[in-house]
């Protein structure tokens, strides 16, 4: 795992100052503490920071191809590099190293941009073709590895693994994109179609860009997409066997490393499944780690301990204080953009624990998106059945009226939140799922903005890009479209961003075997009844893992990392909560109604209502803007 950065001149190939690229890389040293390098040529500069995982001594970067005609900087891992290497050697390719970086170079020399479809891995890379004078930027299928870009005033395009790499370039303008504020309040993160800074872009997952010196910067080109348009045929037992084959292949391929390797173990279905299959494939005990809380309702370590005992893992756990609020400033440093998923704190803590003994850790991320494991997906499938029997002309007025009159009960479990259900049923399936996925409804967002900021936003609403994505999805049903949205919108923007930044902050490589594209493509073809059955998501995955895992792990209610932000904002962070509307960076922007925010804070602190998530969002936005030193 590594950090990459660079500069490319679109137009006149001006000289690139190596010191400038080096400063961009220095901002990414946490991603690659084991070494670094910079290479420049007329109009281009490539920089790299390395975390050594495979071929520790033999694959320094930037790396030149064996024929001297291409140069690459690469962040990630190619899990099938040995198979590709053998194929390329049969075609005459020669290799000087034992790693995966040189395999990408050779694959590009043979197949050009079509090499991407042959790569099974997580990656973001920049490859310069010295013959064609082109820069090839690419990102993996699901966006596991990030890549930020920005056009600068001197006609160059700068790129980096994290925004902080671009911030090290003196020509980057630090001006906030107001639409990103609307996006952030809706989702709790800035999605991949936007950046917090105007003029900064993220290369979308499954896309590449091919840039030339003699033309304007080309737009991203999609090279992969997930399709839900087909359905697998066969007996459930046969599909279960095929699923197990894909699972074993995905896990074993991600166990290749020349450094200590382990796994996160929460005690839930997904991480436990990964550990079970690692134990099956390993001749030595798997190293696992878990964190717990000293609050019983938040703690899952007993389940993790049960799985660790069952598979004889070398297990380590640590109990952390749920009142970890003192570290919120560190989160703003890690993420650069505002990020309100409070589970980032415990995720960072488990990464710290893992890094004490391993350099690579396998996670269980991706299964909920691929196999319909989220409660919101299960509810959405049920709501879609209701929509199918009642036309919109009846649903909209009936459920719209019920939604307006019904009392709000955010404290209740989702099945008891009738107001939310009624609001969703009054809308189309796509609109209903956008409401389920968002963490702040448009009606509430609108009350927070100042009149001036509402004018700036105009007709834009954060839900619009998601609705367009769902309506254009290669899908056959509402559940398909919901899962497509989770894989293409939620996963890269929230889950993968969280894991990448928190793991890289401690120089740990996190790998996601359940996001092997062959496994996810298989899952996307499963019939509905093998995804959701009797109100249970991930049905086929759980059924397949019954031979490995006990029922109390497989079928207990889903529980993620929980952080008590509401309690913090009534206790040790109450002073900061009160200040949000009047004495903070965001208060000075003029974007928000300070009196309205102050009233929400007072009501929360007094216990009259729970606005913890909203206040946490605003607090993280304030911390981030302060760190960035931006103008509005």
Catalytic residues: 2
Look up residue 498 and give its two tokens. Answer: 């969280």
Residue among 263, 169, 214 nearest 503 (CA): 263
CA distance 286 to 379: 36
Residue among 565, 563, 564, 577 nearest 606 (CA): 577
The Cα-based distances of 612 to 151, 259, 599, 625 in angstroms read: 38, 41, 13, 20
Q: Enumerate the β-bridge partners of residue 49.
A: 3, 36
Contact 213, 13 (CB under 8 A): yes
CA distance 532 to 488: 20
Q: Quote the DSSP letter at residue 218.
A: P
Buried b (16+ CB within 10 A) or exposed e, 244-274: bebbebbbbbbbbbeeebbbbbbbbbbbbbb
Residue among 14, 10, 36 nearest 25 (CA): 36
Per DSSP bridges, beta strands 121-129 and 70-78 are: antiparallel
- DSSP string over 476-532: SSHHHHHHHHIIIIIIIIIIHHHHHHHHHTTT-EEE-GGG-HHHHHHHHTS-HHHH-
CA distance 520 to 513: 10
Query: To the nearest 10°, the Cα dihedral for 513, 514, 517, 522?
Result: 140
Contact 321, 572 (CB under 8 A): no
How far is C-alpha 470 from the chain's CA centre? 18
Taking each helix axis from N to C end, the angle separating 392-405 and 418-425, rounded to the nearest 10 degrees, works out to: 150
Q: Enumerate the β-bridge partners of residue 74.
A: 125
Residue 209 neighbours by CB under 8 Å, 6+ apart: 135, 136, 137, 138, 149, 203, 217, 218, 219, 220, 221
- DSSP string over 67-133: TSSEEEEEEEEETTHHHHHHHHHHTT---S-SSSHHHHHHHHHHHGGGGGGG--EEEEEEEEETTTT
**Which value, in Å, is the radius of gyration of the alpha carbons in the chain?**
24
CA distance 396 to 400: 5
Q: Enumerate the β-bridge partners of residue 361.
A: 262, 510
Look up residue 135 and give its two tokens. Answer: 């820069």
Residue among 375, 432, 442, 430 nearest 399 (CA): 432
CA distance 424 to 436: 8
Tell me how far apart the 2 most distant CA atoms of the chain are, in Å: 73
Look up residue 47 and give its two tokens. Answer: 């920089």
Q: Which secondary structure element, helix H or strand E, spans residue 288, and what is its range?
A: strand 287-293
Task: Note if the bond before 83 is cis, omega within 30 degrees.
Answer: no
């Amino acid at each position: 795992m590594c950090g990459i950065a660079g500069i490319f001149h679109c137009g006149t190939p001006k000289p690139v100052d190596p010191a400038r690229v080096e400063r961009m890389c220095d901002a990414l040293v946490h991603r690659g503490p084991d070494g670094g390098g910079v290479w420049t040529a007329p109009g281009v500069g490539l920089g790299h920071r390395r975390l050594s995982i495979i071929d520790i001594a033999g694959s320094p970067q930037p790396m030149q191809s064996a024929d001297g005609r291409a140069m690459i900087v690469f962040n990630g891992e190619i899990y099938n590099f040995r198979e590709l290497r053998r194929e390329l050697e049969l075609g005459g390719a020669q290799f000087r190293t034992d790693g995966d970086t040189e395999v990408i170079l050779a694959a590009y020399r043979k197949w050009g941009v079509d090499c991407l479809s042959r790569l099974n891995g997580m990656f973001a890379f920049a490859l310069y073709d010295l013959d064609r004078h082109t820069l090839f930027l690419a990102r993996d299928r699901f966006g596991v590895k990030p890549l930020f870009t920005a056009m600068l005033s001197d006609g160059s395009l700068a790129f980096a693994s994290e925004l902080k790499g671009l911030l090290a370039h003196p020509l980057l303008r630090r001006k906030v994109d107001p639409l990103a504020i609307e996006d952030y309040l809706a989702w709790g993160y800035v999605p991949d179609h936007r950046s917090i800074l105007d003029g900064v872009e993220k290369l979308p997952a499954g896309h590449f860009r091919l840039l030339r010196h003699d033309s304007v910067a080309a737009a991203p080109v999609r090279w992969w997409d997930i399709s839900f348009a087909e359905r697998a045929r066969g007996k459930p037992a046969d599909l279960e066997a095929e699923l197990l084959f894909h699972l074993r292949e995905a896990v074993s391929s991600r166990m290749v490393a020349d450094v200590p390797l382990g796994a996160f173990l929460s005690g839930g279905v997904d991480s436990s499944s990964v550990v079970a299959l690692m134990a099956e494939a390993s001749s030595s005990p798997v190293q696992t780690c878990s964190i717990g809380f000293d609050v019983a309702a938040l703690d899952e370590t007993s389940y993790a301990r049960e799985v660790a005992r069952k598979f004889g893992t070398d297990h380590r756990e640590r109990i952390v204080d749920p009142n970890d609020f003192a570290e919120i400033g560190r989160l703003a440093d890690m993420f650069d953009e505002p990020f309100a998923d409070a589970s980032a704190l415990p995720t960072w803590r488990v990464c710290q624990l893992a890094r004490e003994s391993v350099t690579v850790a396998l996670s269980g991320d991706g299964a909920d998106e691929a196999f319909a494991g989220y409660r919101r997906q299960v509810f959405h499938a049920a709501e879609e059945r209701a929509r199918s029997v009642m036309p919109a002309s009846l649903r909209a007025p009936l459920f719209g009226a019920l939604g307006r009159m019904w009392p709000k009960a955010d404290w209740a479990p989702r099945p008891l939140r009738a107001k939310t259900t009624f609001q969703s049923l009054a809308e189309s399936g796509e609109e209903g799922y956008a409401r389920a996925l968002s963490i702040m409804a448009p009606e509430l967002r609108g009350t927070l903005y100042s009149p001036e900021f509402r004018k700036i936003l105009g007709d834009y609403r954060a839900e619009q890009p998601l609705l367009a994505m769902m309506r254009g999805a290669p899908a056959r049903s509402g559940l398909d479209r919901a899962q497509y949205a989770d894989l293409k919108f939620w996963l890269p923007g929230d889950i993968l961003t969280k894991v990448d930044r928190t793991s890289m902050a401690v120089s740990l490589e996190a790998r996601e075997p359940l996001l092997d594209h062959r496994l996810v493509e298989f899952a996307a073809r499963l019939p509905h009844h093998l995804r959701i059955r009797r109100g249970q998501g991930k049905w086929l995955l759980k059924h397949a893992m019954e031979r490995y895992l006990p029922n109390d792990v497989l079928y207990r209610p889903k529980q993620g990392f929980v952080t008590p932000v509401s309690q913090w904002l009534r206790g040790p962070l109450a002073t900061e909560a009160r200040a949000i509307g009047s004495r903070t960076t965001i208060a000075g922007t003029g974007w928000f109604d300070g009196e309205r925010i102050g009233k929400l804070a007072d009501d929360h602190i007094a216990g009259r209502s729970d606005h913890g998530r909203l206040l946490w969002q605003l607090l993280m936005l304030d911390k981030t803007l302060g760190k960035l030193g931006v103008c509005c």
